[in-house]
Amino acid sequence: MKKDKILVIGACGQIGVELTLALRKIYGESNVLASDLREEHELLKGTGPYVSLDVMNKEMLHVLVIRHNITQIYLLAAILSATGEKNPLLAWHINMQSLLNVLDIAKEEHLDKVYWPSSIAVFGPNSPMQDTPQHTIIEPTTIYGISKFAGERWCEYYNHRYGVDVRSLRYPGLISYKSAPGGGTTDYAVEIFHEAKEHKKYTSFLSENTYLPMMYMPDAIRATIELMEADASKISIRSAYNLSAMSFSPKEIAAEIKKHIPDFTISYEPDYRQQIADGWPNSMDDSQARTDWGWKPEFDLAKMTKDMLDHI
Ligand code: NAD
Ligand code: AKB
């Protein structure tokens, strides 16, 4: 069993629940402290320690890190793209200050490692849409994307200037069944499964041919842990790595679901989230992650769809 003491912030969210459970398997239940603003998630109950924490309270966070001898922080608390557009100043404040609090404490307490996720949302309408490269035009137009881009710069700065071992991935839209998504533009690709199972129909808030990069949660969790366990000498990107698994449109995922639920139907009523999606890449080039630390996805659209429908 490894000796690290890990703090997961935002542990009750879509990624946090599954990441906390996965980390507890590797590092031991008592060595992974889960925290969130919310009440403890049902799936976390009884699996290890939990504390209520507002990451915006730097003093409380600092005390917690010292008191529990924390050596690694996974910061997952954030306001996502769709919610962010409803309150841009709040999204900027929370997304930036939470990261600065964590990076600064990591510097002061000489933490071993920090994980903070970025997103495909760093890219904007002027970025190449197909196989978007690691290094290219980055001009995000959502407040969420702007905060992710600024966050990437802060991560690289803290690494280069202070030696903080901070690592990051530009996740695509994540699809999962254990915990619900929290206010993103890619959430349709989760909702569609629940509606297909319950009502055999779904109205998509994105238009039929809107292609976005997507990933199944088991791949995302594995990528996160593989990145964090990679030897530091292999990490050439200290902002955030492009990460990719699949790309599909609402029409394509509906066709895949129809193979399992033949009377499933889809209709389209695009809303304000269409504009957000239109500014994001259709697909991503993640060759740097593959070269540096051996990233390889396991789930494509067909395999993911079957697994989702088997589990919901
Ligand atoms: P989520 O909204 O499901 O979960 C975030 C969690 O943070 C929630 O449980 C919330 O209660 C908690 N939180 C919010 N403010 C807090 C605060 N002040 N203090 C403590 N906790 C607080 O988000 P998620 O989908 O799990 O995303 C986690 C991270 O991954 C975010 O940085 C997000 O931008 C990034 N990301 C997610 C996706 C995706 O598809 N889910 C894709 C790209 C990037
Ligand atoms: C969102 O849609 O906001 C997230 C993301 C891709 O960052 N799922």
Q: What is the DSSP string of 46-96?
A: TSS-EEE--TT-HHHHHHHHHHTT--EEEE-----HHHHHHSHHHHHHHHH
- Give the residue-averaged pLDDT of 166-172: 98
4 has a pLDDT exceeding 80:
yes
147 has a pLDDT exceeding 70:
yes
Where do the domains of the chain lie?
Answer: 6-172+217-242, 174-214+245-285+299-311
1 has a pLDDT exceeding 80:
no
pLDDT value of residue 150: 98
Cα distance between residue 248 and residue 282, in whole Å: 8
Closest-CA residue to 74 (of 175, 3, 168, 147): 168
Tokens of 109: 């307490």
Residue type, 237: I
Cα of 147 vs centre of ligand 2, distance in Å, is: 13
Residue 8, SS3 per DSSP:
strand
Catalytic sites, residue numbers: 144
Residue 99, SS3 per DSSP:
helix
Q: Mean of the per-residue pLDDT values for the chain?
A: 97
pLDDT value of residue 2: 53
pLDDT value of residue 48: 98
182 has a pLDDT exceeding 90:
no
Angle, CA 89 vertex, CA 279 and CA 86 arms, to 5°? 55
Beta bridge partners of 216: 175
**Residues comprising the chain, all counted:** 312
Which atom of ligand 1 lies nearest, measured to the CA of 144? 34
- Give the residue-averaged pLDDT of 29-40: 97
Closest-CA residue to 143 (of 124, 158, 129): 124
pLDDT value of residue 28: 97
Number of H-type helices and E-type strands within the chain: 11, 14
Cα distance between residue 311 and residue 234, in whole Å: 36
**Beta strand spans in 185-310 (E):** 201-204, 212-216, 241-242, 246-248, 265-268
Q: What is the CA radius of gyration of the chain?
A: 19
Q: Which long-range contacts (CB under 8 A, 24 or more apart) does 207-210 make?
A: 207/250, 207/268, 207/270, 207/274, 208/249, 208/250, 208/251, 208/266, 208/268, 209/249, 209/251, 210/249, 210/250, 210/274, 210/277, 210/278
14, 79, 81, 95: residue to mutate for ligand 2 pocket, most atoms within 8 A of CB:
81
Alpha carbon 233 to its chain's center? 24
12, 15, 215: residue to mutate for ligand 1 pocket, most atoms within 8 A of CB:
15
pLDDT range class, residue 222, cuts 50, 70, 90? very high
pLDDT value of residue 282: 98
Q: Which residues line ligand 1 (CB under 6 A)?
A: 9-10, 12-16, 36-38, 53-56, 76-78, 80, 94, 117, 119, 171, 173-174, 181-182, 184, 186
CA distances from 165 to 18, 71, 207, 256 (A): 23, 11, 40, 41
pLDDT value of residue 311: 97
Angle, CA 19 vertex, CA 18 and CA 25 arms, to 5°? 95
Which atom of ligand 2 lies nearest, measured to the CA of 148? 7
130 has a pLDDT exceeding 60:
yes
Tokens 């919310």, located at residue: 38
pLDDT value of residue 36: 98
* Architecture of the 6-172+217-242 domain: 3-Layer(aba) Sandwich (3.40)
- Give the residue-averaged pLDDT of 230-253: 98
| pTM as predicted | 0.98
Residue 295, SS3 per DSSP:
coil
pLDDT value of residue 13: 98
Tell whether domain 174-214+245-285+299-311 is in CATH 3.30.230.
Answer: no
pLDDT value of residue 232: 97
Write the Ramachandran bin of 110: left for phi over 0, alpha for psi from -120 to 50, otherwise beta: left
Q: Give phi and psi for 34, each to the nearest 5.
A: -90, 145
Tokens 């399992």, located at residue: 260
294 has a pLDDT exceeding 60:
yes
pLDDT value of residue 3: 80
Q: Are 6-172+217-242 and 174-214+245-285+299-311 equal in CATH topology?
A: no
240 has a pLDDT exceeding 80:
yes
Which atom of ligand 2 lies nearest, measured to the CA of 120? 6
